[in-house]
Amino acid sequence: MKTIEKFYRKIAEYLANRVKPQTIQFTISVSFTIISVCSMGILGVTLYNRFVNRMEDMTIESSEQLLNQTAINLETYLRNMRRISDAMYYSVIKDKDLAVDSVDEEMNLLYEANKDNLISIACYTNDGKLVAAAPVTNEKDNSDIVGQEWFVNAVDQMENLHFSTPHVQNLFDNAAYRYYWVVSLSRAVELTSNGNSTLGVLLVDMNYSSIEQLFNKANTDNSSEYVYLMDSDGEIIYHPKQKLIYTNLYEENNLEAVHYDDGSHQEIFQGEKRLITVKTVSYTGWKIVSVVPMSAFNMGLYGTRMFVIMLMALSMLMIIIINQLVSARIAKPLQRLNESVKEWEAGNLNPTIYVGGSLEVEHLGKTLRSTVEQINQLMHDILY
């Protein structure tokens, strides 16, 4: 305890020797300025941090709103595709004995009603033989139907509908030699022939460009923010830089993002900090992912940061000027009274004692004037 007291005493003595006495105006001005600047600094930093947090919350809300709207549009599209598959199976195939009946007419009608979003509808037996297809085209030779991923998934998990990743359709010959990117919806169906039931597979090939157009609308902004789509295994279905990804010129953190829960997350990918928002598409397990680089967010705050700095600088300048005026207003009467005392100290026995300012200074001036008068009277009485 004594050691601490000695330490503080030494500091006090050092400051007393080093710091020269200053005028009251200087002391008041510096004190007020330091307090005001510190208060303004704390207030400015606090408000700026709250603004940044609010901006980040608004960015997250905006990303979630965009994802929700995109998810609604995608779910509506996929729901329509499932309805086409359901209508073909439950309203057509289940009611037909394929030994005597044909499903071509109904299949063609269903295709024509939805051809803007479809490439083809086809039905196969469990050994890969074509039962019917729309539009009517020639089946390719050696297409290995039973080895196709959509066929294997439908047979292995007969209770579910299965969506594939985008691929080029290679089932039918095209007279224009044009081949389409499709997303296949497949399911196991029950085929009846001569009263006997056998397993089959119903295939609905959706036009991938419909999904692409839907996501292009979500990526209309030219900023570095973007939205992409992947399946439940992390394989990319749509990405605005998909061609670059296929040629290994661009990388995405999809294999990590597939494990994220729905909501917002922060990650660092290739040295860049990013805000990731995830939304799972119902039934399919697909995930829509929004990516917002934090660098873009910080660039958006640059103007705000400069505005806050300029505002604080101007506020501090005004505070310093006001403090100077206030300190001068307070100290001026004391300075004038001090000049009167100096005049008396210089030998002027009848100095002009200033009386004014605040009540305390005015009272001090009156007291000093009275003291000077009394001293002069005593000296006069002694001499005369």
Q: At which of 236, 265, 299 does a domain end?
A: 299
| The pLDDT of residue 235 | 92
Identify the domain boundary among 281, 299, 317: 299
Q: State whether 197 and 226 are in the same domain.
A: no
| Same domain flag for 174 and 252 | no
Structural domain containing residue 70: 56-77+212-299
As a whole number of angstroms, the distance between CA 2 and CA 244 comes to: 74
Burial of 286 (0-12, 13-18, 19+ CB in 10 A): buried
Report, as an integer, the average pLDDT of 350-354.
72
**Between 118 and 302, where is the model more confident?**
118
Domain annotation covers residue 295: yes
Q: Name the more confident of 13 and 341.
A: 341
What share of the chain has pLDDT > 70, as a percent?
89
Domain boundary among 246, 265, 299: 299
Residue 367 maps to a domain = no
DSSP at 123: E
Local confidence band at 300 (pLDDT 50, 70, 90 cut-offs): low
The β-bridge partners of 227 are 290
The whole-number average pLDDT for the span 131-150 is 86
280's tokens: 């799972």
Same structural domain for residues 113 and 233?
no
pLDDT > 50? residue 244: yes
Q: Are 106 and 92 in contact (CB under 8 A)?
A: yes
Mean pLDDT of 289-318: 80
16 occurs within a structural domain: no
Residues 187, 236: one domain? no
User: Per mean pLDDT, which range of 10-19, 152-161, 306-315, 368-377 is the poorest?
Assistant: 10-19
| Token pair in block for residue 351 | 């100095």
Q: Where residue 252 falls among pLDDT bands split at 50, 70, 90?
A: very high
CATH of the domain at 245: 3.30.450.20
What is the residue type of 370? S
What would the pLDDT profile of 14-61 be if each residue is shown by its tens digit?
A: 545 554 556 666 777 777 778 877 888 888 888 888 888 888 888 788
Query: What local confidence, expressed as pLDDT, does residue 19 receive?
Result: 47
Per-residue pLDDT of 191-202, as tens digits, reads: 998 889 999 999
**Does residue 324 sit within a domain?**
no
- Burial class (CB within 10 angstroms; exposed 0-12, middle 13-18, buried 19+) of 202: buried
pTM for this model (two decimals): 0.69
Asked if residue 217 has pLDDT above 70, the reply is yes
Arithmetic mean of pLDDT over the chain:
84
Q: Do residues 249 and 266 share a domain?
A: yes
Residues 279 and 167 in one domain: no
